[in-house]
Amino acid sequence: MHGTLKHQSPSRVACVIDLDNVLARRGKFRQYARAQLDICKFKTALKERGITKGVVFQNQSLSAFDIKIWNCLGLDVVSKRTNVDNAVKLQAVNFALEGIDTLIICASDGGYCKVIKAIRDCGILVEVWCLRESVSTDLMFAADRLSWMDDMVVEPAPAAVKATSRPAKRNIATATRDIAA
């Protein structure tokens, strides 16, 4: 008998998405604007990557319509009126404990480096999906793999930048209408 073939189970890929982290644009003098996610391109990228489960985190309340769109993509939603970084990290660890093979983190700041290292130390491949212009150098080196999201994001027009202390409230419903137009 020649060697036997081992049956490989399909890869289990999960994602956690810090939506505000990816889409918020903080400029000079505390100016804010919000980029828009091209939901069709994002959905295609998730499907191509074989995402089996995931959670979208948002620092503000989302409408029922927004939540339904994310749920249609097979993603759960956590929206709070507070920073969600710790919730994102906790969910990443939970997915690791469930035995996933790969974790995708959609974020750009270095605050996720420690949790990425801990998950990698467990033998789990960690990919970071981020924007070239805003990614932390530390985050780039913490991950096993980087994927650029630049083609999935529509940057705000300069006129959309407002000099306020809070980001302009935009949601997935608005983004979907903008993309369809």
In a domain, 152, yes or no: yes
In a domain, 100, yes or no: yes
pLDDT at 11 (0 to 100): 83
Closest CA to 138 of 105, 116, 106: 116
Which residue did the predictor score with more confidence, 30 or 38? 38
In a domain, 7, yes or no: no
DSSP codes, 99-125: T-SEEEEE--SGGGHHHHHHHHHTT-E
**pLDDT mean across residues, the chain:** 81
Q: What is the mean pLDDT of residues 99-113?
A: 93
In a domain, 141, yes or no: yes
pLDDT at 105 (0 to 100): 96
The CA radius of gyration of the chain, in Å to the nearest whole number, is 17
In a domain, 87, yes or no: yes
pLDDT at 143 (0 to 100): 95
In a domain, 8, yes or no: no
Confidence of residue 26 (pLDDT cuts 50, 70, 90): low
Q: What is the mean pLDDT of residues 34-56?
A: 89
Q: What is the mean pLDDT of residues 50-54?
A: 91
pLDDT at 149 (0 to 100): 92
- Whether 74 has a pLDDT exceeding 80, the answer reads yes
Phi, psi (deg, nearest 5) at residue 7 = -80, 120
- Whether 25 has a pLDDT exceeding 90, the answer reads no
In a domain, 4, yes or no: no
CATH of the domain at 75: 3.40.50.1010
Q: 25 is in which domain, residue-wise?
A: 13-180
Q: What is the mean pLDDT of residues 33-54?
A: 87
Which residue did the predictor score with more confidence, 157 or 2? 157
- pLDDT tens for 123-173 read 999 999 998 888 899 999 999 999 999 899 887 766 555 544 444 455 554
In a domain, 32, yes or no: yes
- Structural domain count, the chain: 1
